[in-house]
Every structure is written in C-alpha cells, then in structure tokens.
Structure 1
Amino acid sequence: MSTPVLYEIEDGIVTLTLNRPELRNPISDPDMVEAMVEALDRLNEDPAVRVAIVTGTGSAFSSGGNLNTMREGGGLNDPLPARTRQNYQRGIQRIPLAFERLEVPVIAAVNGPAIGAGCDLACMCDLRIASETARFAESFVKVGIVPGDGGAWLLPRVVGFSKACEMAFTGDPIDAAEALACGLVSKIVPAAELLPAARALAARIAANPGHAVRMAKRLLREGRHVRIDTLLEMSAAMQALAHATADHREAVDAMLSKRPANFTGE
C-alpha cells in the first residue's frame, strides 16, 4: 500500500500530499490519521520549517471519510456506541488537535473536491487557495451523520455562522467561485498553477523571521477564543521574546540601511 502522506521540504517549505488517490484521499482511516499527525508534529518541531502546504494526489483534495467503512462495525462505527466515541477521539479527532498545536502557517492547496471531513481539513489550515476544479461540501447530513472532526467549530470561523449553517444543513456542494465569495478560499487559480501559486505564497511567508511568524500565528489562533486582556498579556510576553531575537535586530538594521535582510532564525 502507498505511503499515506508524502513529506517534502525545500527552502523551509514543507509540502504534505495526501496520497490515497484510488480512494480520493480520505483522512479517517487509522494509517492516514497516524501519518497526518506524525507529519504535522514533525514539521512543527523542525526550526528550519517556515511554512507548510497541504494538498492531495490525483483529482481530489480529500473525500473526508472512507465511505467503504461506514457500515455498522466498520471503520470508526462500532456496534457499541461507547467504542465509537473512543474511535473518534483516538482517531480522526487527533488531526484537528495536531493542527491546533501547529505554530507553522499552513496553506491548503485544494486541487479538487474537498468533501465532508475533507472540507474541514481545508478549514484546519490557515489559508486556502483553490483550483478552478475545487468543490467544497459540509456533506455529513447526506450520509446521516454530523461533523465528527470539529467541523461545527471550524467552518463558522471561516465562512460565518449563516453560511456554515447553510452548508451543514443542506450538505450541498459549492464550487470554487462560491467558495471565494464566502471567504472559504482567498484565491482561485487554474489547475496547472495551483501548486506554483501555493509555493509563491509560502515563499512570501518564509521570507520573514521564523520566530515572529510562529508567534504571530499563535496569537491569531488564541485570539479566536480568549478575552482581549488575556490576548494583550500574551502579546506583550511574545513581543518581549521577539525583541530579543537576532532576526529582529537584522530586520531593523536592514530597513534603516535600505538593504535586503538576511534572517538566520536566531
């Protein structure tokens, strides 16, 4: 069987590629969960990594759950509901928690349909670029279930409550143009230009001091659910750390000298 997730790094940019094209890249199977969590933790712990891209092999970004395993007694669904609960907690729910631990910015390069948990996977990322062939659907109701992977938390924070309700209650797909209109993606490009566009955006992020970018991401993430006074306290503490870095001094010197900066990650 093929490697579930391909891990490539170049110039501080990691590309994670879901690699089950014959199944349209589902993320619910145990080996895919393990591979995703391992890859995310690996890039988070590597100080050389500045930014990551998540994409899919083949025509689909991700089909979400593996429909072939959804009958009773298959996949996450156990005849005993208590075990089904544990299967979700020990399985697919580990992926959004791994994304939440990440300090490295992540770009979803959505190369095709992102369905169910695949749509939620795109929402776990910080930025989303879509191919013209991309489609998105919060389609859990179409198979008689609910978002078990955090979609009810993720989707409203990306598209707003009303649009999230529309997508979750109907399960209907939206195309790339509608995804752009509702803020689910920030850019649409032709299929052949998707990865170059994602890498160009990643390079713009990677050009900045790594410590500052990671701390800025953490503040943005925490800002979604803490009080302003708590966030200000965190910001002051992280700012003290940022001021002490060599990259901060280099950035100021380079600006004053009107020369390109040379960041070392120190």
Structure 2
Amino acid sequence: MNSPLVVSTSGHVQTWTIDVPHVGNAITGLDFVAAFEEAVEAANQDLDVRAVILTGAGKIFSAGGNVKEMADRQGMFGLDPRQQRRAYVSSIQRIPRALERLEVAIIAAVNGAAVGAGCDLVMMCDIRVASERASFAESFVSIGLIPGDGGTWFLPRAVGYERAALMTLTGERIDAATAREWNMVSAVVPHEDLLAEAGALAERIAKNPAESLRMAKRLLQESRTGALESVLGMAAAMQPLAHLDPEHERSLERWRTT
C-alpha cells in the first residue's frame, strides 16, 4: 500500500507531499497519522535534513477530515462518545504532537484549499507560503463540529484571537490575499512558482549550521508558552554547545575572509 505521505529529499531539504488526492488529501486513518510520525522521527535522526516543505498532491492541500466517513459513521466516527474521545487522542491529535517534536523548520506550501483539519495542519507549520489559488477555512462549525486537532491553539497564534474567532465561529472561507493580509501566510505567489518559492526559502534556511537551526527552533517553540526566564535559561545552556560546533568555526572562518 502506498504511503499517504510521500517523502523526497534534495540536498538538505525534504519535501513531504500529502498524496491521497482521491479523497481530497483528507487527514484520515491511522496510516496517515503513522506516516507523519515516521517522517518526523526520520528527519530528527538525520542531521543532513535542515528544512522540510509540506504540500499536497493535486489541486487541494487538504480537505481536512473525511466527511464521508463521518456521514457513514465509519471507523472512529461510529464509536460511542467515551471511546471517540480516546480515539481523537490516539489518532489525529498525534499529528500536532509529532510536529511539535520536529526539530527542523517546516514550511507549508499551500497549493489549494486547506479546510478544517487541513487549515489547522497549515497552522502547525513554522512558515507558510500560499499559491494564489489557495484558500483557508476553519470550517468545523459548518458541519456541527469543533476543531478537534488543536486548531483553537494554533490559529490564534497565527492571526490573533479576533480573526481566529471570526474564522472558527463562522466557518467561512478566506482567500489567499486575505490570508496574507492577516499574516496567516508570509507570501502569496503564482501557483506555478509555489514549490520553487518554498524551495528557495528552504534553501535559505538550510544553508545555516544544522545544530544551531535545531536549537533556535526549540527556543522559538519554548517562547510561545514559556516564561522569559525559562527561555533565557535554555539559551544559556544551548549557546556553549553552539560555540563548540565545528560548523560555527567554519562560519567564523568564512566571515573572516569576506
């Protein structure tokens, strides 16, 4: 069986492509969750990987949950509420936990619609670049649901509380230009240039020393919820390690000769 997440590598950059276009790249099933976890752990173990690009196959980034499975009460959607609560924890909620463990930067290259859990998946990424064809919807309430995958944690941190509330409580879609205006994405580019633009950004990151990149990302993650003293303590512990990194020495040599 083909993996729902296709991983390819070019130099220090990996591209992860959600590849289930026949269901709109829906985030569904334990195979999907396991594929993300495996990709994260592999990237963490491979110090040659310095950046990741996440995109979708075909015309859609991700349609989110599989609504047909919900309507037919298939899989976890047929469980009683007590079992379903546990099923959310042991299935889709493993994705934000996995991405929180990812040590390298992940760039969302949003090639089309990112709906519901697909929108939340974009928000879980560190940096987001959108095709002019992209659109975003925190659409759970429109089918009588709530964001069950951490969307109410990630979205306000990207766009602020009020705009997150607007998207979450109306379920309405916004286009790529509005997403850029709201700082939901850092850039909107012509559709045919999307992967090239994301790749160029990934290369700008990947040219930097591997260990300092991973430690800097960890500090950024800590800063979202940690106190200043906690971040300062981590930085004080990490910086001596960075000073001893051979890549730091090579960077200084290049600086001396420029």
Q: What TM-score do the two structures reach when normalised by structure 1?
A: 0.95
**Equivalent residue for 2:230?**
230
Q: Secondary structure at the match of 1:223?
A: helix
- Larger helix proportion of the pair: 2
Q: Secondary structure at the match of 1:14?
A: strand
Mapped to 1, the partners of 2:247 and 2:2 lie a distance apart of: 41
**Equivalent residue for 1:86?**
86
Say whether the 8 Å CA contact 1:29–1:66 is kept in structure 2: no
Structure 1 residues 75 and 143, CA gap change in structure 2 (3 angstroms): farther
Paired amino acid for 2:14? V
Deviations 1:41-62 (Å, cap 9, x if unpaired)? Answer: 2112211101000000000000
Identity of aligned residues (%): 48
Say whether the 8 Å CA contact 1:72–1:79 is kept in structure 2: no
Deviations 1:242-264 (Å, cap 9, x if unpaired)? Answer: 01111111111210111xxxxxx
Mapped to 1, the partners of 2:104 and 2:78 lie a distance apart of: 35
1:60 maps onto 2:53 in alignment: no
Q: Secondary structure at the match of 1:61?
A: coil
Q: Secondary structure at the match of 1:147?
A: coil
Paired amino acid for 1:237? A
Question: Which runs of no fewer than 5 residues in structure 2 stay unpaired?
Answer: none
Q: What TM-score do the two structures reach when normalised by structure 2?
A: 0.98
**Equivalent residue for 2:251?**
251
Runs of 4+ in 1 over 4 A off after TM superposition: none
Mapped to 2, the partners of 1:28 and 1:250 lie a distance apart of: 45
**Equivalent residue for 1:115?**
115
Mapped to 2, the partners of 1:180 and 1:100 lie a distance apart of: 24
1:25 maps onto 2:25 in alignment: yes
Mapped to 1, the partners of 2:152 and 2:200 lie a distance apart of: 31
**Equivalent residue for 1:165?**
165
**Equivalent residue for 2:150?**
150
Q: What is the CA distance between 1:118 and its match in structure 2?
A: 0.3
Deviations 1:203-242 (Å, cap 9, x if unpaired)? Answer: 0000001111111000001100011011100011111110
